[in-house]
Amino acid sequence: MSTFEIRTIAVLGAGTMGHGIAHVAAAAGYETRLFDVAAAGVENGLQKIKANFAKGVEKGKVSAEARDAALSRLTGSMDLAAATSGADLVIEAVPEKLALKVQVLGESARHAGEHAILASNTSSLALTEIAAALPRPARVIGMHFFNPVHLMKLLEVVKAYQTSEETLAAVRAVGEKLGKEVIVVRDAPGFASSRLGIALGMEAIRMLEEGVASAAEIDKAMELGYGHPMGPLKLTDLVGLDVRMAIGEYLYAELGGSQFRPPQLLKQMVRAGKLGRKSGEGFYTY
């Protein structure tokens, strides 16, 4: 099958990552459909996209004309069939549950057509396993974006064992059109970014647990000493303590190595409902 042009992108899940992906897709000129199972989810996602565009216009980063053109290419939907029908690229951004990702991508494959590429925004789950459960596994790939999507420059493209070179080339081209710096990694637990990030994050939590330094001091060590834009504990609050704990448990099960094992402090905080920004409290209070 020859390389085709991607014109329409369907994004499944209107949460933090999903609405960010839809934002950059619409801004890059793609007809973009944002799907969520809940009406409130769709509306909230669209409102956040509009708010982020408004900030961009206010700061002079984007023109009002470009904003209006992007928003004209963006639609929201609670109907998966309508959202994915005829789509050239489907990107799922649903919760990190393998069965759920396979389910929504499998349903999408029936509506999007044989030419469509099915992409997962998973930060750690095995793309090869996802592809094996879907029709046309050569058209399955990982597109791991970073939060906030409209500001972060990196796109980690993950090549499953089954992914064709044509699929990889098409997705790399999309990533570049979205204005991202694209890195390509093979499907391995944690890929490149999560494997390194989780090791650093878990060690920072262990240091806090041991009383080596305060959360603010640990974060400043990485921000000012190593040039990280955000310290590992602030980042954990942003991503969600429950999300990072789940990734750590997955990497520990897959790879072994105590560096990935979630510390007791993290487990206790998750049990207490201190999940970071989304709950109002984590290693910091919001």
Domain boundaries, the chain: 8-186, 193-279
pTM: 0.90
* pLDDT at site 270: 98
- 156's enclosing H/E stretch is strand 154-159
For the segment 240-269, the average pLDDT, to the nearest whole number, is: 95
pLDDT exceeds 60 at position 1: no
Cis peptide before 148 (omega within 30 of 0): yes
Write out pLDDT tens, residues 218-251: 999 999 999 999 999 999 999 899 999 999 999 9
Residues of the chain with pLDDT > 90, as a percent, come to 93
Total H helices, total E strands in the chain: 12, 8
Structural fold of domain 193-279: N-(1-d-carboxylethyl)-l-norvaline Dehydrogenase; domain 2 (1.10.1040)
Measured CA to CA in angstroms, residue 277 lies from 25, 65, 190 at distances of: 26, 33, 23
Q: What is the pLDDT of residue 5?
A: 85
State residue 113's pLDDT score: 83
Residue 117 has pLDDT above 70, yes or no: yes
Q: Which pLDDT score is estimated for 124?
A: 86
pLDDT for res 198? 96
Tell me: pLDDT of 74 over 70: yes
- Going by the DSSP 8-state scheme, the letter that residue 139 receives in this structure is G
- When pLDDT is cut at 50, 70 and 90, the band that residue 3 belongs to is low
pLDDT at 260 exceeding the cut of 80: yes
Domain covering 8-186 in this structure, CATH number: 3.40.50.720
What's the one-letter identity of residue 285? T
In the predicted model, what is the mean pLDDT of the chain? 95
CA distances from 54 to 43, 51, 62, 151, 177 (A): 16, 5, 9, 14, 22
Average pLDDT over residues 267-278: 97
Residue with tokens 């060690």: 203
